Structure 1
Amino acid sequence: MATITYRNASCIYEGSDKLAVDSLNLEIDDGEFVVLVGPSGSGKSTALRMLAGLEDIDEGSIEIGGKDMTGVASKDRDIAMVFQNYALYPNKTVAENMGFALKLRGVSADERRRKVEDAAKLLDLTEFLDRKPGKLSGGQRQRVAMGRAIVREPQVFCMDEPLSNLDAKLRVQTRTEIAALQRRLGTTTVYVTHDQVEAMTMGDRVAVLRNGQLQQFAAPNDLYDKPANAFVAGFIGSPAMNLVTLPITSDGVQVGDDTLPLERDQLTLLHDAGLQEVTMGIRPEQLEIADSGGMEVVVDLVEDLGSEAYVYTHAGSGVQMVARSNPRTAPKLADTVRLRKRPDGVVHLFNPDTGERLA
Structure 2
Amino acid sequence: MAAITYRNASCIYEGSDKLAVDSLNLDIADGEFVVLVGPSGSGKSTALRMLAGLEDIDEGAIEIGGKDMTGVPSKDRDIAMVFQNYALYPTKTVAENMGFALKLRGVPADERRRKVEEAAKLLDLEPFLDRKPAKLSGGQRQRVAMGRAIVREPQVFCMDEPLSNLDAKLRVQTRTQIAALQRRLGTTTVYVTHDQVEAMTMGDRVAVLRNGKLQQFASPSELYDKPVNEFVAGFIGSPAMNLVKLPVVADGVQVSENSTLDLEREQLTRLNGLSEVTIGIRPEQLEIVDSGGIEVVVDLVEDLGSEAYVYTHAGSGSGVELVARCNPRTAPKLAQTVRLRKHPDGVVHLFHPQTGARI
After TM superposition, the score normalised by the length of structure 1 is 0.99
Percent identity over the alignment? 88
What is the distance in 2 between the residues matched to 1:178 and 1:293?
A: 47
Q: Counterparts of 1:294 and 1:90 in 2: how far apart (Å)? A: 62
Q: Which amino acid aligns with 1:160?
A: D
| Deviation of 1:294 (Å) | 1.6
Alpha-carbon distance in structure 2 between the residues aligned to 1:332 and 1:262:
30
For 1:276, the equivalent position in structure 2 comes to 275
Whole-angstrom distance in 2 between the partners of 1:82 and 1:113: 21
Give the letter for the 1:105 counterpart: R
User: Post-superposition shift, 1:83?
Assistant: 0.2
CA displacement at 1:122 relative to structure 2: 0.3
Q: Offset at 1:256? A: 1.1
Q: Does residue 193 of structure 2 align to residue 232 of structure 1?
A: no
Unaligned runs of 5+ in 2: none
Aligned residue identity for 1:267: L
* Distance across 1 between alignment mates of 2:64 and 2:37: 21
1:67-113: CA deviation from partner (whole Å, max 9, x where unpaired): 00000000000000000000000000000000000000000000100
C-alpha distance in structure 2 between counterparts of 1:256 and 1:144, whole Å = 56
Asked if 1:245 is matched to 2:245, the reply is yes
Residue deviations 1:243-294 (CA, integer Å, cap 9, x gap): 0000000100001121000001001111x2x210000000000000111222
Aligned to 1:352: 353
1:65 is matched with: 65
Is 1:8 the counterpart of 2:8? The answer is yes
> What corresponds to 1:161 in structure 2?
161
Letter in 2 for 1:62: I
Larger mean Cα displacement after TM superposition, 257-266 or 169-178: 257-266
Q: Secondary structure at the match of 2:209?
A: strand
Give the residue type in structure 2 aligned to 1:320: E
Amino acid at match of 1:300: D
The alignment partner of 1:181 has SS state of helix
Aligned to 2:254: 254
How far apart are residue 218 of structure 1 and its match? 0.2
1:138-153 equivalences under 5 Å are: 138-153=138-153
Residue 336 of structure 2 aligns with which residue? 335
Aligned residue for 1:322?
323
Return the alpha-carbon distance in structure 1 between the equivalents of residues 26 and 192 of structure 2: 14
CA apart distance, 1:18 = 0.3
Map residues 289-328 of structure 1 onto 2, 5 A cutoff.
289-316=288-315, 317-328=318-329
Distance between the aligned counterparts of 2:269 and 2:331, measured in 1? Answer: 36
SS, match of residue 330 in structure 2: coil
TM-score of the pair, normalised by structure 2: 0.99
Q: Does 1:54 align with 2:54?
A: yes
Matched letter for residue 140 of structure 1: Q
Residue correspondences, number = 356
User: What SS does structure 2 have at the residue aligned with 1:306?
Assistant: coil
Q: Give distance in 2, aligned partners of 1:291 and 1:248.
A: 26
Q: Secondary structure at the match of 1:355?
A: coil
Aligned equivalents of 1:210, 1:169: Cα separation in 2: 28
Aligned position for 1:123: 123
Equivalent position amino acid for 1:278 in 2: V
Match of 1:110 in 2: 110
> Partner residue of 2:133?
133
Q: In the aligned structure 1, how far is the partner of 2:133 from the partner of 2:31?
A: 30
Output the CA distance in 1 between the equivalents of 2:115 and 2:144.
13
Q: How far is 1:312 from its partner?
A: 0.1
Q: Per the alignment, in what secondary structure is the counterpart of residue 328 of structure 1?
A: helix
Aligned to 1:35: 35
The one-letter code matched in structure 2 to 1:61 is A
Match of 2:212 in 1: 212
Aligned partner of 2:177 in structure 1 is: 177
How far residue 242 of structure 1 moved from its aligned partner, in angstroms, is 0.1
> RMSD of the alignment, in Å?
0.4
Q: Distance in 1 between matches of 2:133 and 2:104?
A: 20
User: One-letter code of the match for 1:303?
Assistant: E
How far 1:227 sits from its partner (Å)?
A: 0.3
- For residues 275 and 267 of structure 2, the distance between their equivalents in structure 1, rounded to whole angstroms, comes to 14
Displacement, 1:318? Answer: 1.1
Aligned counterpart, 2:201: 201
For 1:355 and 1:8, the matched residues in 2 are separated by 23
The one-character-per-residue Cα deviations of 1:33-56 (angstroms, maximum 9, x if unpaired) are 000000000000000000000000
Q: Which stretches of structure 1, 4 residues or longer, exceed 6 Å deviation after superposition?
A: none
Partner secondary structure for residue 245 of structure 2: strand
Supply the AA of the counterpart residue of 2:270.
L
Whichever residue aligns with residue 332 of structure 1, its letter is: K
Q: Which runs of 5+ in 1 are unaligned?
A: none
**Secondary structure in 2 aligned to 1:23?**
strand
